[in-house]
Structure 1
């Protein structure tokens, strides 16, 4: 067995530092050089993909959430990262490193994996990293990128000879479309592996929607795919993918009422939090976007029948707003106004109440600041 050599932690840390500085300066050439220099020095491509590029991308997201970089900076950094991945991918295979698990089987060709983001999912870098890791381990990979509508995915599968599908999603609001995609792929007799924050801690929502496998990261996904996920249905309980709680129609009705609910909250906020009456057009627009996200995550929590999904989102939102000098009074008021509009929806009111209880435990400025 060949040995897998890696750079030491300080070497990878140095590379991460160089890459971060290059991204902060929007210097694509320096970002590419940081990664390729490390590869030339012996760092395996997989380590650079996951422990450098992936780790730095996580820092980009954390810096945005903390209000230290803006949306445009985050987008620019992500675009550069994607091109750095491409530059690394065009390098020759690693020298002196293990090729990874044998994915062929005795006398068999490499297994083909289709990697795609679910419909509406634009955060494509995690899926791109997975695709490159799988290529490095000997799989044949069709990488379809961001926002792949399910009918287009199915059309590709009919033509490609794929053995297994890997779907990525970062936001739980995509769970319904992810569920539809998983079911459609399984109807073709193909297994589906899913990954990303959308599927919850420990992959709890992956099991809920009946996926054949879940992996917390690209290395775990590659290992699972090397073993081969079971055919659809073999390892899933009969209840997997069956969501009887949806029979109350709350998810459907809240989703359909989204425009009305956003308008209701916007109209009620000035009475509940007088400072919001002074918001200018831009602040009102941003507030409307925030309210729409709240409704979307409420609907997702109803789909999954998990109030924790909603409370996680509203407490995260409170932290993002706090980092921008915005108090949570308006956020609490928005939940109250939404609850007022949900008289006939006990599950929705329960999730909103859970969110409110979680918010009042989050430290925040006593008065709301301007909505940036």
Structure 2
């Protein structure tokens, strides 16, 4: 039966992608509801249709095949599909209250919303607080409602330091904390560095919640001053690289994009230092290289950027070593 249902969803998947491509909201909703009418469970529709389609949208954007506007339109349609599925299948909660939220500054709300909906389908009484919830407001909410647990989502590893501060704030309410999202690593390794349980997907989250919740572990973080000092040097590092780049042929929009990219580089480097894991920065560099190559940005600027920053950060041993380890980066390496 599972194989038959998977085949059913698979047969609809190309048509669903076309709906996203053509910004056909009604068509996408009709396809999802038709699957429900045909006996496909709602969680299968969400996890085997909506989720992989959204991942494909992200890949199209990364390869510069879709614009930001197209990606936003597709995300909105997927959110409408999730809402339609949720309105059609309305199970009454039989289990404890769970809060699902995105970190402050985290705007990738669709993946945690999918988790929230699947948990609701599994009987949990779920409150989804949406994108970018300030920690102080989240803590106040937890104090007021005292849920069984709070699930925090993080999509970008560069935001791990902020994630840890939010985790610690939630722990002080005595509400157990679980985390999920690509920001913690596909295998949750950076969640383990922060001493917090990790759920790789919605079903894993429900399984963790159904069992006695694990106790918080002490974070495996290096206690030194390199991370805050690196943050303090952020603007200086960006300016040093800009001084070395030939920006004469850049449009104002290209200059703005370059400044943003340099900021992402510093933030990812700082996060790698924070969790003491150079693989975090290496993964970011690989992703950045693919994005820049798809947009026709000369990749030699990446190596130049690392060399300039490494020279400035000679007194920052971990940051310096991470940069030097990636200074010979090329998209074919």
Per-residue Cα deviation, 1:51-70 (whole angstroms, up to 9, x for no partner): 10001001001111111101
* Partner Cα distance (2:174, 2:263) in 1: 37
Does the 8 Å contact 2:282/2:326 carry over to 1? yes
Q: How many Å apart are 1:120 and its aligned residue?
A: 1.2
**Aligned partner of 2:256 among 274, 285, 294:** 285
Give the deviation of 1:344 after TM superposition: 1.3
3-state SS of paired residue (1:202):
coil
Normalized against structure 1, the TM-score is what? 0.85
Q: Taking structure 1 as reference, are residues 7 and 36 closer, same or farther at Cα in structure 2, changes over 3 Å only?
A: farther
Contact 2:150 2:178 (C-alpha < 8 Å) held by counterparts: yes
Using the alignment, how far apart are the partners of 1:13 and 1:354 within structure 2? Answer: 42
Unpaired runs of 5+ residues, structure 2, are none
Structure 1 runs (4+) greater than 3 angstroms displaced: 4-7
Q: Secondary structure at the match of 1:210?
A: coil
Match of 1:28 among 25, 30, 39: 25
Query: Is it true that 1:76 corresponds to 2:78 in the alignment?
Result: no
Deviation (angstroms), 1:188: 1.9
Offset at residue 130 of structure 1 (A): 0.6
| 2:178 counterpart of 1:193 | yes
Match of 1:256 among 232, 240, 249: 232
Is 1:224 the counterpart of 2:200 in the alignment?
Answer: no
Cα RMSD for the two superposed structures = 1.9
For the residue of structure 2 that corresponds to 1:123, the secondary structure is coil
Q: Deviations over 1:49-107 (max 9, x none)?
A: 1110001001001111111101111111111111110011000358xxxx9xxxx9xxx
Structure number, greater radius of gyration: 1
Equivalent residue, structure 1, for 2:219: 241
1:330 corresponding residue in structure 2: 301
- Give ranges in structure 1 of 5+ residues lacking alignment: 271-275, 365-372
Aligned residue runs from structure 1 range 316-355, under 5 A: 316-355=287-326
Q: Provide the C-alpha distance between the structure 2 equivalents of 1:10 and 1:36, rounded to a whole number of angstroms.
A: 16
Choose from 26, 35, 40 the match for 2:37: 40
2:139 aligns to what?
154
Q: Distance in 2 between matches of 1:7 and 1:321?
A: 41
Q: Is the 8 A contact 1:339 1:349 kept in 2?
A: yes
In the comparison of the two structures, how many residue pairs are matched? 333
Deviation of 1:7 after TM superposition, in Å, equals 4.7
Alignment of 1:119-198 (within 5 A): 119-198=104-183
In structure 2, the CA distance between the partners of 1:112 and 1:228, relative to structure 1 (3 Å rule), is farther
TM-score of the aligned structures, taking structure 2 as reference length: 0.95
| Contact 1:116–1:146 under 8 Å retained in 2 | yes
Q: 1:97-108, aligned counterparts within 5 Å?
A: none
For the residues of structure 2 that align with 1:126 and 1:216, how far apart are their CA atoms?
11
Give the counterpart of 2:199 among 188, 202, 215. Answer: 215
Shift of 1:10: 2.5
